[in-house]
Chain A
Amino acid sequence: VTRVPKFSISRWVFAALVVAGAYAAYARVAGGLGGATNLNDGFPWGIWIGFDVLCGVGLATGGFTVATMAYVFNLRPYEPVVRPAVLTAFLGYLLEILAVLFDLGRPDRFWHALVMWNPRSPMFEVGWCVALSTIVLFLQFLPPVLERFGLDRSLRLARAVLVPLVVAGAVLSALHQWTLGSLYLIAPHKTHPLWYSLQLPLLFYVSAVCAGLAMTVFESCHSRKAFGIPLEVPLLARISRLLSAGLLVYAVIRIADLWHRGAWRLIRPSRPEAALFLAEMSLLLVPAALLLGPRWRRDPRWLHASSVMVILGFVAHRLNVSITAMQPMLSLRYVPKWTEVAVTLASVALGIAAFGFLVKRLPFYRHAGDLPTAR
């Protein structure tokens, strides 16, 4: 506790982001959505949905995936990254809920989504997935807290239900990604054919699994610098191998779908959409190909670089689906207002700060593990 905390971003940047975010939050409350955003009748959803919600929960998927590998597939080498990945996921979901409260026109009625049913609506299912996943993640997040405060009986209870929770979390996160992808199926007339696809639910799921794994690698690399956690290169290499396989599955679905629909013909050098598409795809394909090589996978710098590329490629895909794919199809334009960006950046900064705060005080790294290795 006496150690001077080292943040991966310097503290004054953090303070500036939080102040800007607080002002933007005030603008949202005082001036309504019109005062704080550039949203309009043609672009009812902006970066709070496109980035905070779609990308936030996608990057959180790593917590579900590595917990499943460690405790369901019984691959115990994954265990050291489970607790931090679950913490990332839990914080990611909390920040998503915060973003939704900013974005809803009537945040005071958010609970309607759970009470007033419409089973035909993907949004209804998204609401339930968010609520249930957050509860599951909260319970999975508890063991380090209970351990820290010496609540042994509660800890034993939490461990007894760990595997069912991990299974429930994995299924819920899959459904969450599936339904988030389904949201955009309703808008074929507004979404550019390079991104509109009936495979969006599946693509959202597979890409989220990849992004979650990349996020786990990324976070491990940064935790080493920030908190002095030793880097487990063999484990990260193993995760990256899985990541590479996931990316190849994604690429096959994505390319086969474009081919099948004939949409690949729209990839013409003169079009800005084509450039965005190619950038998005290369950010995912280059690491997929290179991570196949064992030599690349042993290099910590490359592990880090490839995780950054995958995260950027993933974010590019979701922003393209939710914002840029609609730009050429509509007469109206949308460029986020600075207050929108401020809320997004402040929530990312708060997430990183909360992660750092908790990791330094609770046993998320360097612990004995939550389940006995073999019985």
Chain B
Amino acid sequence: MTVELEFLNLIPHFAGLGPAELESVQKLIFEKTAGRGEMVLLEGEPSEHLYFVSSGVVKEFKTSAEGKEQILSIVRPGESFNDVAVLDGKPNAASARAMGQVTLCGIAKPDMAALLRQHPRIALNVVGVLAGRVRHFISLVEDLSFRRVTGRVARILLEHAGDGAGGGPRLTQQEMAAMAGTAREVVGRSLKALEEEGVIRLERHRLVILDQEALRDLMEASS
């Protein structure tokens, strides 16, 4: 199935290309679908394709030796993943999984290399995409390495805890992230860590604090 030119035109990598150039790109692109939960890429495997999400959402993540998952990015329609591995020729830097039914547009590594050689505009666009990606990861690295986010999440939980009667304030993970000055992905990881340590328990829409003392200790350690 041929990928629509209108879709290619929306992808940052191919922004500003004329119709003839877009058609030459179109010939190299293939479509692929994946179902919910299906792995699209495995970290450490040889890199073969760069992908653009056409519909649905893909989650890019790393897994620790203990099996803990850190989300690196949520890839929505028009966005790409596996750029880094395809461009540096090394193995896939992260895994990617379909969060629902997804349609992807892929391009093989040698074809992408040929496009970069032939079209300076694409090369410049890709530099811009990679710069944005580096900026995103610098922010994530800062949060994960230098900031004691869990301590700040602990403070937020203690400050917003109600009596369970249902009338108290409610917080989304996005709101907790904004309060803690971090990314939602980092809050999700902090909540999971607190749950694994038995400090909190997630019960559908209720977040139950099991160990107030432990939360206070975390809060004080980070201040």
Task: Decide whether A and B are members of one complex.
Answer: no
Q: Which residues of A are interface residues toward B (Cβ below 8 A)?
A: none
